[in-house]
């Protein structure tokens, strides 16, 4: 897949909609439109890299830093009991969008366990709810409620 065919590159370029929660020179984070749980966020490098094998070390570091900041914001906003981070590389591993991305998935003990590769992308979210939640996460980040 080339960058010109990539939905995540279109989101970075502002050509496709997304409920954005974080944006800097290196990374973009937005709500997953087909979430596995409330608060499911994706973090991507802005440069197109198909998977971990194509990612530069500094891009991987930027994604990790962003994920850490967002983990704190998600904890502030949603108060989950846990947070699952996962990342898939290649179709055989369950990757469906071929632009490197890390998933942040808030979890609570009373929720049924999910297999991210098997269930991702099955149920569209309400866009208004995604935008509302994205705003709360941005506020948590902006208010320095997170470290």
- CA gap 62, 57 in Å, rounded: 9
| pLDDT band of 147, cuts 50, 70, 90 | low
CA distance 81 to 108: 5
Instruction: Give pLDDT tens digits for 74-88.
Output: 999 999 999 999 999
pLDDT level of residue 120 (50, 70, 90 thresholds): low
Query: Which residues share a beta bridge with 30?
Result: 20, 42
Active-site position among 40, 48, 101, 120: 101
Catalogue all structural domains in the chain, each as residue range(s) with its CATH number: 3-111+118-142 (3.30.428.10)
Q: Which of 121, 119, 16, 31 is nearest to 73 (CA)?
A: 31
Say whether 58 sits in a helix, a strand or coil.
Answer: helix
Q: Under a CB-based contact definition with an 8 Å cutoff, are residues 145 and 73 in contact?
A: yes
At residue 113, the pLDDT reads: 81
The whole-number pLDDT of residue 145 equals: 55
Q: What confidence tens digit (pLDDT) does each residue in 28-53 have?
A: 999 999 998 999 999 999 999 999 99
Specify whether 103 is catalytic.
Answer: no
> pLDDT value at position 3?
73
């Amino acid at each position: 897949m080339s960058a010109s065919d990539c939905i995540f590159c279109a989101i970075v370029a502002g050509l496709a909609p997304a409920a954005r929660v974080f944006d800097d020179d290196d990374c973009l984070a937005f709500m997953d439109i087909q979430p596995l749980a409330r608060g499911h966020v994706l973090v991507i490098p802005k440069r197109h890299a198909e998977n971990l094998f194509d990612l530069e070390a500094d891009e991987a570091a930027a994604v990790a830093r962003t994920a850490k900041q967002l983990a704190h914001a998600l904890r502030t906003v949603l108060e989950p009991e846990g947070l699952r981070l996962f990342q898939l590389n290649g179709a055989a591993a369950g990757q469906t969008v071929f632009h490197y991305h890390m998933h942040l998935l808030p979890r609570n003990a009373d929720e049924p366990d999910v297999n991210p590769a098997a269930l991702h992308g099955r149920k569209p979210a309400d866009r208004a709810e995604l935008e509302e939640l994205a705003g709360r996460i941005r506020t948590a980040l902006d208010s320095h409620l997170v470290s």
